[in-house]
Structure 1
Amino acid sequence: MDERNQAGVNDERGGIQVIARAAKILNLLGRSAGGLSLGDIAQAVDLPRSTVQRIVGALEEQGMIRSEGAGGISLGAGLLRLVANAHVDRMTVVRPWLHKLSEAVQETVVLSRPAGLQLIVEDRVVADRELQVTPRLGQLDTPLFGTSAGRALLALDKEEGVKALFAAESNSKPKTVIPKVVLAQLENIRQTGISCDHGELIEGITTMAVALNTVLGRFAISMPVPTFRFERNRDSYIEELLRCKAGLFKEIGIDG
């Protein structure tokens, strides 16, 4: 490789490295509402203070971050405007992951979200198999705690928050009381990250679900599977569902 081409490659690598470092700093500031000092940032991203100072200065010039005193480096209005104008649609981001999961396990995959105490099925990818499970779209009649996806969503909150939700939603409606057994199930879901039901909603169908609290809102991804197939492939199903969840978190980001 001649000197000119080598210089071009080095410049490209250097540019990519600077972008990666800047992104790392922006992600750190996004998780630090109170602001950070240059020293805090340098320690967290494992970079020399002088390098961090140069990157911070360049980002501040573009309005991506702002500095208010020694410990007040935070995200700037320019970045917030950029995010606000992105118009990222949750379905656009999530649907490829639904297809990827469905292809990996050869099963139906469902996307749902909470609406008060009810669950709304927003999308589904139906696997082409000899025995298909095709959930209907729209709001389900069963309360949140009556579905695996709903329980996964409820488990995103602590017990006090769940009780407060039911108390608030029941003020102007027939009172819905969450059973104590469900509260115990939610605690187990918080520990394992997986919610399951075995034929509760549909006889002969086992459904496993995970819930995500992201910058694009709360939603659940579930897999309704004939119970005989679930028992045969349980570990691989759960592994792929958790892999899907981790990938979405990496792409979208956790809310708060």
Structure 2
Amino acid sequence: MSDAETSRSLERGIQLLKALDQLDGATLSQLARAVDLPKTTVRRLLTTLVEQRLVRKSLADGLYRSAVLLPLETDYELPRHSWRLCDIAAPVMRRLTDQVRWPSDLFVRVGTGMRIVESSRSCSPISLYRGKLSTQVSMLLSAAARAYLAYCPDDERELLIARALEQSPEVMTEEGIRRMIEQTRRQGYGVRHPDYYGESRPDDGLRAIAVPVIFAGRVQACLNLLWVRDYLSESDFAARHLETLRAAAQEIAERCQAAP
């Protein structure tokens, strides 16, 4: 390949990365339209970018997303380990859903909230509300955030509790938060607050249990399982599937720990 061809490919690759950030995820066709290039060219460039871990294709919706941080105007920034974590977690989450039929979401903490960074909802044979990647969920009310609070380091927990009380004093009292954390530890998993119905619409009709993904000495993410609210209570669902969920979280942690 000549220097001119190499330079043109590099420029087109950067163009694709910028388009991906602006679109917050896109199909091959959407990208081809956005950058005004043939699909065959875009497919070839994407293959290279995925191989170099600059782009990933999400399990949740099949969309391509940038895995690098560009200087764009966004209101949040995912932790640097998130996309590598997603690459490792995706096949484990797919297998988990194959085992239990119900889907799972993967969350990381961003600021004072938790964000969905991967999901196996599209892989489940059971039709549920699909949700959306990057959705932020309540730090006090969602199952994943409660699992995070229960198992994160003490100093981090105290900071998150203080900020939650400052930002949303009407949601829970400090005494209520600490009781919730103790209950989560006793049962070994987080559950949604009884009045929490998800973030993406008034009521997603679901329940959830969640466990931490711990490696490198701290909670790096949380993994949940979701099901239709009227199907089973949290305790009955946990009796059937908690150990399988824990095994998946442990596998993700071990694979991340061993990754170069």
User: Which bracket does the TM-score occupy, shorter chain normalised?
Assistant: 0.5 to 0.7
- Residue pair 2:97, 2:124 contacting (<8 A) in 1 also: no
- Residue pair 2:152, 2:219 contacting (<8 A) in 1 also: no
> Is residue 212 of structure 1 aligned with residue 207 of structure 2?
no
> Could you tell me which of 134, 140, 149 is aligned with 2:144?
149
> Could you tell me which of 118, 132, 135 is aligned with 1:139?
135
Structure 1 residues 154 and 233: CA distance shift in structure 2, 3 A: closer
Q: Which residue of 2 aligns with 1:183?
A: 178
For 1:190, give the aligned amino acid. R
User: Separation in 1 of the partners of 2:195 and 2:95?
Assistant: 25
> Could you tell me which of 231, 235, 239 is aligned with 2:239?
235
Structure 1 residues 164 and 124: CA distance shift in structure 2, 3 A: same
Between structure 1 and structure 2, the one with the greater Rg is 1
Q: Which residue of 2 aligns with 1:69?
A: none
Structure 1 residues 120 and 217: CA distance shift in structure 2, 3 A: same
| Residue 246 (structure 1) shift | 2.5
For 2:145, give the aligned amino acid. G
- After TM superposition, the score normalised by the length of structure 2 is 0.54
The superposition leaves residues 65-101 of structure 1 with CA deviations (integer Å, 9 ceiling, x where unpaired) of xxxxxxxxxxxxxxxxxxxxxxx92111111111111
Q: Which residue of 2 aligns with 1:97?
A: 92
> Is residue 121 of structure 1 aligned with residue 125 of structure 2?
no
Structure 1 residues 92 and 128: CA distance shift in structure 2, 3 A: closer
User: Separation in 2 of the partners of 1:226 and 1:199?
Assistant: 15
For 2:225, give the aligned amino acid. M
User: Separation in 2 of the partners of 1:200 and 1:98?
Assistant: 24
| Residue 157 (structure 1) shift | 2.9
User: Separation in 2 of the partners of 1:189 and 1:217?
Assistant: 15
| Residue 112 (structure 1) shift | 0.9
Q: Which residue of 1 aligns with 2:227?
A: 225
Aligned residues: 163
SS of corresponding position for 1:229: coil
Q: Which residue of 2 aligns with 1:5?
A: none
| Residue 103 (structure 1) shift | 0.8
Structure 1 residues 199 and 99: CA distance shift in structure 2, 3 A: farther
Cα RMSD after superposing both structures: 3.0
Q: Which residue of 2 aligns with 1:14?
A: none
User: Separation in 1 of the partners of 2:138 and 2:243?
Assistant: 27
For 2:191, give the aligned amino acid. C
User: Separation in 1 of the partners of 2:138 and 2:108?
Assistant: 12
Q: Percent identity?
A: 13
The superposition leaves residues 220-252 of structure 1 with CA deviations (integer Å, 9 ceiling, x where unpaired) of 111121123334654222121112122223333
- After TM superposition, the score normalised by the length of structure 1 is 0.55
The superposition leaves residues 96-128 of structure 1 with CA deviations (integer Å, 9 ceiling, x where unpaired) of 111111111111110111112111111111144
| Residue 137 (structure 1) shift | 1.5
